């Protein structure tokens, strides 16, 4: 994007990640891995997502285009 990162930006990112992780793990604000089991027509089906600051940071580093491709590939069924 042409800009440079300052130390304030980096430390702000660390602070946001620390706050997120603290709310999620220590204060139990939400589930670490939210999931949902489907009902009657799809009894064997489920969906889950692991959302953590570490994984979100990797997505930021590799960029939205590559992250989208990897996420799309991960959503394909593996039992084919």
Contact residues for 34 (Cβ-Cβ < 8 A; gap 6+)? 48, 49, 51
Task: Quote the pLDDT of residue 11.
Answer: 79
pLDDT in tens, 14-65: 788 888 888 888 887 777 777 888 878 877 788 887 777 777 666 666 777 8
Determine the pLDDT at residue 79. 56
User: Global pTM?
Assistant: 0.50
Q: How many CA atoms lie within 13 A of 56 on its CB side?
A: 12
Predicted local distance difference test score (pLDDT) of residue 46: 83
């Amino acid at each position: 994007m042409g800009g440079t990162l300052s130390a304030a930006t980096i430390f702000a990112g660390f602070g946001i990640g620390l706050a997120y992780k603290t709310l999620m793990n220590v204060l139990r604000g939400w589930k670490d891995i939210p999931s949902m089991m489907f009902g009657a027509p799809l009894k064997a089906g489920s969906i889950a997502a692991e959302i953590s600051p570490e994984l979100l940071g990797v997505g930021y580093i590799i960029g939205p285009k590559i992250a989208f491709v990897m996420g799309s590939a991960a959503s394909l069924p593996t039992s084919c």
